[in-house]
Amino acid sequence: MHKDIAGRISSVFRKLALWIITLFTAGMVVTVSCNVLARYVFRRSMVWAEELSMLFFVWVVFLGAYYALATKSHLALSFVVRRLPRCLRKADRWIVLVLVFIFLFILTVGGIEFVNGVIELEQRTPLLKISAAWSYLSVPVSSAMMLFEVVRMFFKKEAIVDLKEIGLEEETEKGGK
């Protein structure tokens, strides 16, 4: 029996992304809450808290974009598909997938080059003194995961958004209203 390897990899990516998003969101809430408590109750601020919460936030945003794309619930992509003329809605899968692929490919390659530059320059964060690459790494990692998802959708002949969810499935099946 042939198993869908790309589908299984996608499932692992989604579960991993959701786990990290949950963990980092909790970390961000705890860090910010402790800093607020320290500032207003003890009159002493944890100066590193903002930097750590920003690191968490960047990863949550980019992995959240991956998760939204993987679950076909990315708001911006739904907006684009809704705005396509009726005659292009059947071709929306190909048009949007190709455009998103090109964008994500450029973002992934550019992100890798940028992270490599940060590593070569040995840039560190001002307060935590960790490599700044940890923050910037969220871009190529999440965009590569999105790229994988777009390629999987292309070969599985899936739309990039759930057409039923945005109310266009009937329209594309009937050939327009």
* CA 103 remoteness from chain centre: 13
pLDDT in tens, the chain (177 residues): 456 899 999 999 999 999 999 999 999 999 999 999 999 999 999 999 999 999 999 999 999 999 999 998 876 666 666 777 767 666 666 777 888 899 999 999 999 999 999 999 999 999 999 999 999 999 999 999 999 999 999 888 887 776 565 555 544 444 444
Nearest to 32 by CA among 9, 57, 13, 50: 50
Task: Let me know: does 104 contact 150? Beta carbons within 8 Å.
Answer: yes
Task: Let me know: does 90 contact 172? Beta carbons within 8 Å.
Answer: yes
CA–CA distances in Å: residue 135 to residues 23, 82, 120, 127, 139: 16, 33, 15, 14, 8
